[in-house]
Amino acid sequence: MQFSQLPGTLFLGLLMAASTSCHGTEPATQTVDPIAETVTIRIDPSKTYQTIRHFGGSDAWACQFAGNWPLPKKNAIADLLFSRDTLADGRMKGIGLSLWRFNVGGGTTEQGDASGIRDEWRRAESFFAGDGGYDWNKQAGQMWFLNAAKERGVGEFLIFPNTPPVQFTANGKGYATNGQPNLASQQIDKFAGYLADVIEGVQKKTGITFQYVSPVNEPQWDWSDGGQEGTPYFNNQIAAITRSLSASLLKKNLPTKINIAEAGQIEYLYSEHNRPGRASQISTFFDKNSPDYLGNLTNVLPAISGHSYFTTSPYKDAVAKRKQLAAKLATVPGLEYWMSEYCILGDNDGEIKGEGRDLGIDAGLYIAKVIHNDLVNANASAWHWWISISPYDYKDGLVYIDRNKTDGNYQSSKMLWAMGNFSRFVRPGAVRVEAASSLGTDGLLVSSYLNTDKELVTVIINSDNQDRQVDITLSSAQKVGVRKIYETSAQSELAPVKSGDADGKMIVKARSIVTVTGKM
């Protein structure tokens, strides 16, 4: 991310929210409009859309320090992100992320203040040793969280650099000069070889295989202000890096697939927008007639990745852009879209600002709507958060920590739990199925997914100041046995909700996110 731009009716139950701790700034009392007519949600499991691969988060940048905190605290943070366990009171212990993104640094930490990156929390180590070899004991804090993710059942891992190692950059820095690409053509093979070496080295050290590598990040931005590691690229340079990386991985017999190209905004995937030579990336990389076609490389993933920044408000415009993206994707059979990075940035047309930490439900509801929009209208197969652990006064964290390298306090946010309404229950391999509300999209946002074990998961977002009575029905005579219902609201965080309404209706509280599960 670019901080420099702006760091059958058988679902039974009356929802009765269990009370849990809330760290937000919610009012003690809240005016709730009376319940209007019953809203019917109709699900058609026979009408299917994309397969969901995973929900993920990134270890940049604070894991390098939080990974050195006292064991009980970093274990607790890891539980919040990765655990699928259930607490004694029925609440979820964590949000069960299914992919973890590992940031391989460019070596700006070793440069210190001379790196030109003002905030040392945004510098990152490389695996280069002082003698030019490798030191696999480096990035120790991040390695701790990598192992913690595996121990808690995370099954897939992705490695990504924001910059090539400073030893390979044109200016010797981890950020660019005057918006110019910071990797000379003669260094491309060295950069690709380094990434392959790191994938192999980390695997030998930890036993963890990186299923994916994403070699470039937001190539449309200038990355010239020293705010963090980064470099721009033109599409032909990305193609050259990808071809070289493909060969390096094959040479080492590594199974890692290459994911491209982490576009800074989704418009760059389907149009030139305002970055000629750096945009129209679906056509550039996956049109067989393009000189930069990469779809013939056996280890290039048939997916293109982009970031939802600056395109999430107002909601109608956000929907339109995602439908444009989905239409462009449909021109390339088999090509998936991964939403690979997001947190709240900018002013979002006055709806919500990125500045200012918000642990409450306002930010949580906004994130839930973004996830829904990306999954339902852009047909995203993956959805990844940006910095999972944040020390900043910004809406960029799932978990927040004190800005302390060795110890401190931590807090979960409603953004964490809102994401958990999806990530904890919609598991890898789930297929999105048709779900529609009698209100359309004006009152409730609804999506439904069928897991590989035939568990049907329905997520309902009610951002209005009005409780809603809901009747969930199937389009066929199939029956679904209700298992559990979970709510995230101002008062609860993935809390189990008791059932008891004999006519099969349920209440979705005002300003809440509810997940309903049941076996088909």
pLDDT over threshold 60, residue 27? no
Summarize the confidence of residues 457-466 as an average pLDDT. 96
For the segment 511-517, the average pLDDT, to the nearest whole number, is: 97
Average pLDDT over residues 243-263: 98
The predicted model gives 449-458 an average pLDDT of 97
Q: Where are the alpha helices (DSSP H) in 138-228?
A: 140-151, 188-206
pLDDT at residue 508 is higher than 90: yes
Taking the C-alpha atoms of residue 215 and residue 149, their distance in angstroms, rounded to an integer, is 22
Half-sphere exposure for 404 (CA within 13 Å, toward CB): 12
Q: What is the pLDDT of residue 137?
A: 98
Categorize the per-residue pLDDT at 1 as very low, low, confident or very high, splitting at 50, 70 and 90. Answer: low
Taking the C-alpha atoms of residue 400 and residue 355, their distance in angstroms, rounded to an integer, is 14
Whole-number Å distance between alpha carbons of 199 and 194? 9
From the list 487, 363, 478, 347, the residue with the least C-alpha distance to 424 is: 487
Cα dihedral: 228, 265, 244, 52 (round 10): 110
pLDDT of 23 over the 50 cut: no
Q: Where are the domains of the chain?
A: 8-49+434-519, 53-425
The pLDDT assigned to 31 comes to 55
Does position 289 have pLDDT exceeding 90, yes or no? Answer: yes
Model pLDDT, residue 276: 95
The set of residues, in sequence order, having a beta carbon less than 8 Å from that of 58 and lying 6+ positions away, is 101, 103, 160, 341, 384, 385, 386, 387, 388
Task: Give the mean pLDDT of 183-192.
Answer: 97
Q: What pLDDT score was predicted for residue 33?
A: 60
pLDDT at residue number 180: 97
What integer pLDDT is reported at residue 480 of this predicted model?
73
State the pLDDT at residue 58.
98
pLDDT for 4 equals 38
The CATH code for residues 8-49+434-519 is: 2.60.40.1180
Mean pLDDT value across residues 205-218: 98
Tokens of 376: 């339902």
Q: Is 70 exceeded by the pLDDT of residue 16?
A: no
What does pLDDT average to over the chain?
A: 92
Residue 339: pLDDT above 70? yes
Instruction: For residues 20 and 367, give the distance between their C-alpha atoms in angstroms, rounded to a whole number.
Output: 20
Predicted local distance difference test score (pLDDT) of residue 32: 56
Measured CA to CA, the distance from residue 205 to residue 163 in angstroms comes to 23
Lowest mean pLDDT among 6-15, 222-231, 285-294, 338-347: 6-15
Task: Give the pLDDT mean for 270-280.
Answer: 96
Domain boundaries 53-425, corresponding CATH code: 3.20.20.80
**pLDDT for res 476:** 81
Does residue 17 have a pLDDT over 50? no
Residue 509: name the closest of 97, 50, 16 by CA. Answer: 16
How do residues 117-142 score in pLDDT, each as one tens digit? 999 999 999 999 999 899 999 999 99
